[in-house]
Structure 1
Amino acid sequence: MQRDEQRDAPAMPEHPEHLTRRVRELQQENEALHTRVHRLSSERQRLETRMSDLARLYTASTRLRESRTDSELVATFEEILKDLLGSESFAVFELEPDASALSWLGGMGVDSTLPRRIPLGEGPLSFVVQEGRIWVSEPLPTENLAPRACIPLRLGSQVLGVIAIFQLLPHKPSFEAADHVLFELLETQGGMALHCARCPTGGEPLTRGS
């Protein structure tokens, strides 16, 4: 009988020290859970950004492969630079056969201000042609006609032309990491597209604007 009374007796409350320790443990578990949720959320955001970047690169590559004439190619560059990069001020130049100058192929926002032929010498355009490498201005230029980036249009190691980017849209103060990947795509795929616009079947180049 005495044993039954002991079983039925209410449990004694935990010692305050035990409660304090348990509360501390729960707080630590809660903090660890919040940290894990934040880490998973950041990882998901990185994956979504990566997927978005891959999608826009695929779109740009597809557009370039479908361009067959100068007018189509310039229109494609305009779509890519405006929609994917965030620029409405750029120019596309083609390297002349003797590699002495760049000749105007098309552009946007600078049509009436840039010369139609630029002899090679000094400056970022000449650097890009001579070195065959992407050039980005550091620090940012203060003049409207000073390029912020120049991208060679290459076929292998041969530079066929240059894209000069002058201004970005107001909501985009600077280039982002994904933009540099887009530059690399323009460098190779844009160069191939320019080559195909000249010699689509390995024969005579297309007439400009045809």
Structure 2
Amino acid sequence: MSSASPSSTSRRAESLDRRHIERRELISRWLLPAVERLLEEQTYPSLTVDQMVAEAELSRSTFYNYFEDKSDLLRALTGDVMSTIVDATRMWWQLAPSGTKDEFHAALAHLFAIYSPHTTLMRAVAESISHDARVREEFMAYMASGQQGIADYIRTGQTAGVLRTDLDADATAAWLTWMMERGLSQLSLGSGEYEPERVLAAVVDILWKALH
């Protein structure tokens, strides 16, 4: 019997790798709500793998089949959640230059709705970037994507004569990106007198007046 050809062996290896990646993504999504529930009471550094797998009703062996450790899991969770948040932000970036304030409000309301359920995780990510270089690299890449999207939105509006032409699009986008990241992290869920609708209305006014 002839042995398998190098090409067929390579295809099988690629198929196994693809299945492993898909399974890793599935396990990551399964763990996400469990980790976020635990983060309501604890910080990420204080969580153990045993706590996370117990909350998610997974085995330790399953966890370690797909993740090196809990830092590796955090990177996977960061990628999933940040991708979702960046996609939500595109509703803002893709507004027509002549879009109304109500449309602007709707775009930011959508972003708040997507971000709010993941506030505890995003706070954990922000706390981790100071000591986990790989988490920081992934987080910064997503922030750069957001900054570029806002800068392009400003330039499009400036070209159309709708947004202020005296704004430095790149510098303004950098400020707005980090302002939104911190504001969403601290205020999007609402606490005390700062209820979500008040926070949303305030940021819509701030951004609208700054840009127009």
TM-score, structure 1 as length reference: 0.29
Higher helix proportion: 2
Q: Higher strand proportion, which one?
A: 1
Give TM-score, length-normalised by structure 2: 0.29
Greater gyration radius: 1
